[in-house]
């Protein structure tokens, strides 16, 4: 616990340093120095161990571990599994991303209540985080150093990919925004915040290989589902439910565009 606080304090100090850079600083140059400083001491590492113990612990009403969960490479086989997600699973007849697959296993194997899990999935800022956040990070970390490799072979995977592409460009709401309005050009910012150029290979690769990530301003690990949630909130869309096909479609599209990126999690975000 003391250790946790210590590392959070370090992150906080670094963050302050990043924020007190000279006022004349240009966004691209000096802010990235601040971000690099933060990355060298990534508190998200703490969540990896937490996720590992959650994975192997006997939990839930059925008192079993997640070792029988099949993430696509066979029960309990985690190495390289996240690199292939989202993908089609025959037992649910659905394309699932990592978080949806976790919901499936925690419900079916461990007997947890699905609605309850979804309600708790995205934790409050500065909390100790949710089980799903820690598990998602641990499982993805088992693909660290490996390349993202989302394949399309089942018809539902093709359908999901194309739906994701469609949704990336779909404009609606008070701001007339789709994803592409902010993420379609290089070197763009909303205020001082850099925007990833997701229609480029390098940008999509940044997306596909850095989540879950430690979010410095929230002091917790965040997942891709959270990222999409926050985007649609800024776009002025209504509340995005957890683990919907909308999110899975966008993740399928972006991860496949970002194939061949080397996974390194936890990522670090401002």
Instruction: Enumerate the active-site residues.
Output: 231
Nearest to 122 by CA among 252, 230, 261: 230
Q: Does 195 bind another protein (CB under 8 A)?
A: yes
Q: Does 152 bind another protein (CB under 8 A)?
A: yes
Q: Which of 56, 185, 202, 260 binds another protein (CB under 8 A)?
A: 185
Which of residues 64 and 237 has its CB atom nearest to another protein in the complex? Answer: 237
Q: Does 246 bind another protein (CB under 8 A)?
A: yes
SS3 67: coil
Q: Does 20 bind another protein (CB under 8 A)?
A: no
Q: Are 69 and 105 in contact (CB under 8 A)?
A: yes
Pick the piece of the chain touching another protein (CB under 8 A) from 66-74, 99-107, 110-118, 172-180.
Answer: 172-180
Pick the piece of the chain touching another protein (CB under 8 A) from 63-71, 115-123, 148-156, 211-219.
Answer: 148-156
Q: Does 187 bind another protein (CB under 8 A)?
A: yes
Q: Which of 240, 259, 264, 270 binds another protein (CB under 8 A)?
A: 240
Q: Smallest distance, Å, CB 10 to another protein?
A: 26
CA-to-CA distance for 176 and 255, rounded, in angstroms? 25
> Which residues share a beta bridge with 268?
214
Q: Which of 169, 202, 217, 260 binds another protein (CB under 8 A)?
A: 169
CA-to-CA distance for 116 and 247, rounded, in angstroms? 19
Q: Report DSSP letters for 2-21, one per residue.
A: HHHHHHHHHHHHHHHHHHTS
Task: Report long-range pairs for 152-157 (Cβ below 8 Å, ≥24 apart).
Answer: 152/256, 153/88, 154/87, 154/88, 154/95, 156/88, 156/93, 156/94, 156/95, 157/86, 157/87, 157/88, 157/95, 157/252
Q: Does 181 bind another protein (CB under 8 A)?
A: yes
Q: Does 241 bind another protein (CB under 8 A)?
A: yes
How many residues touch another protein under the rule CB under 8 A: the total is 52
Contact residues for another protein (CB under 8 A)? 23-25, 27, 152-155, 157-159, 161-163, 165-167, 169-178, 181-182, 185, 187-193, 195, 232-234, 236-241, 244-247, 249
């Amino acid at each position: 616990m003391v250790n946790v606080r210590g590392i959070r304090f370090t992150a906080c100090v670094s963050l302050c340093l990043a924020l007190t850079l000279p006022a004349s600083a240009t966004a691209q140059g000096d802010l990235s120095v601040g971000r690099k400083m933060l990355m060298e001491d990534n508190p998200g590492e703490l969540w990896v161990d937490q996720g590992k113990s959650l994975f192997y612990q006997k939990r839930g009403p059925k008192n079993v571990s997640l070792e029988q969960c099949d993430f696509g490479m066979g029960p309990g086989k985690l190495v390289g599994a996240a690199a292939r997600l989202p993908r089609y699973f025959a037992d649910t007849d659905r394309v699932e991303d990592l978080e949806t697959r976790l919901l499936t296993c925690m419900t079916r194997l461990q007997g947890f209540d699905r609605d309850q899990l979804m309600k708790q999935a995205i934790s409050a800022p500065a909390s100790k985080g949710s089980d799903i956040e820690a598990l998602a990070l641990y499982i993805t970390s088992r693909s660290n150093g490996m390349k993202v490799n989302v394949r399309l072979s089942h018809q539902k995977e093709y359908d999901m990919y194309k739906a994701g592409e469609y949704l990336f460009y779909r404009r609606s709401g008070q701001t007339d925004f789709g994803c592409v309005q902010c993420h379609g050009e290089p070197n763009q910012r909303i205020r001082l915040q850099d925007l990833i150029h997701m229609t480029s290979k390098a940008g999509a690769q940044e997306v596909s290989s850095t989540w879950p990530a430690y979010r410095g301003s929230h002091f917790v690990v965040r997942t891709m589902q959270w990222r999409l949630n926050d985007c649609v909130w800024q776009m002025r869309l209504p509340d995005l439910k957890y683990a919907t096909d909308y999110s899975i479609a966008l993740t399928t599209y972006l991860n496949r565009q970002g194939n061949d990126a080397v996974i390194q999690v936890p990522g670090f975000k401002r």
